[in-house]
Amino acid sequence: MELSKEKLLWMYKKMVQIRQFELKTDELYKKNMIWGTYHLYVGEEATAVGACAALEPTDYITSTHRGHGHTIAKGADLKRMMAELLGKETGYCKGRGGSMHIADISTGHLGANGIVAGGIPIATGAALASKLREDGKVTLCFFGDGAANTGTFNESLNMAGIWKLPVVYFCENNQYAMSAPVNKFTAVKNIADRAASYNMPGVIVDGNDVLEVYKAVKEAVDRARKGEGPTLIEAKTYRWFGHSKSDPRVYRTREEEEEWKKKDPIKRFAEKLLSEGVATEEELKKIDEEVVKEIEEAYQFAVESPEPKVEDLAKYVYAEEGE
């Protein structure tokens, strides 16, 4: 592997952080501590981590309603994320946004989105700005298979295609948009096939293989940074749990879920790290334990944090001059 051990272990740790963060989120919801809805990312950890590993800290991402994984992979603070889920003033959105709206401008994260495909034109615009300002930044746009069927997907990818924008459109095809199976709701077999319409490369990757994701995104990011234009990447993966907090999953079988769970991206990566002698079991175990501690600390921070004040309800509606 050409990546340094440090980077590989960073990738492993990020994936474990995402998994543990999501399991904690689910636990807190079941304890009635999370008020709104949330969309768990379990099973898709390799896509966010592989993609963000190929970005510079100053590059931008746009995220989706299923955004915790992207946010963690881009480098956000677990404490402030957890505080946001609990609606606290110390959260990324000061308790105003919740799970679906976490943004972290300090790590180039332009925001999760409650609107499916909401981030696609926004990513296009951020990339246009980079082109106009020649700032050398690349924008990576996360979106789902469902989002690929919106009108703005077509409009945005065409614009990026004609203007050769420094953007990577990264589709996380987790096989379903809520209850809608991708093969019944998308006229082409692969979403990446659509790239031909926009005169950009279309690449399909195994979304449960973090290194394969990394390689494909790295190539696309390098192209974009050199001014060679956008790429559409489709990562095939699977969400293990329901679409959102209450979903009995009547639209798919438990057998299908079990098949995908066998392809657990974290387990696969751990096995690879061990078999190739990159890390020892003790090293991985130590990381796992560190993460458990970090999640616990994030939780404590969130619980102990104050709520926003009702008097401040109208704060942040408008930007104040000089802010």
255 by Cβ neighbours in 10 Å (0-12 / 13-18 / 19+) ranks as: exposed
Please select the residue that binds another protein; options are 31, 32, 183, 317, rule is CB under 8 A: 317
Question: Shortest distance, CB of residue 153 to ligand TPP, whole angstroms?
Answer: 10
Residue 251 annotated in active site: yes
Please list every residue from 111 through 170 that binds another protein, using CB under 8 A.
113-118, 146-147, 149-151
CA 97 to CA 109: how far, in whole Å?
Answer: 15
SS3 state at 181: strand
Residue 174 near Mg ion by CB under 5 A? yes
Q: What are the backbone angles phi and psi of residue 226, rounded to the nearest 5°?
A: -80, 0
CA 220 to CA 216: how far, in whole Å?
Answer: 6
Question: Shortest distance, CB of residue 43 to another protein, whole angstroms?
Answer: 20
Residue 145 near ligand TPP by CB under 6 A? yes
HSE-CB of 68 using CA atoms within 13 angstroms: 32
Residue 256 near another protein by CB under 8 A? no
Could you say which of 19, 29, 243, 299 is catalytic?
243
**Neighbour tally for 44: CB within 10 Å:** 26
Question: Shortest distance, CB of residue 200 to Mg ion, whole angstroms?
Answer: 21
Please list every residue from 223 through 282 that binds ligand TPP, using CB under 6 A.
243
Of 93, 94, 87, nearest in space to 109 by CA: 93
Site string for Mg ion, 231-270 (x = CB under 5 A): ----------------------------------------
Question: Shortest distance, CB of residue 117 to ligand TPP, whole angstroms?
Answer: 7
CA 159 to CA 103: how far, in whole Å?
Answer: 25
Site string for another protein, 208-247 (x = CB under 8 A): ----------------------------------------
Residue 29 annotated in active site: no
81 by Cβ neighbours in 10 Å (0-12 / 13-18 / 19+) ranks as: buried
CA 34 to CA 91: how far, in whole Å?
Answer: 13
List residues binding ligand TPP (CB under 6 A). 39, 65-66, 114-116, 144-147, 174, 176-178, 243
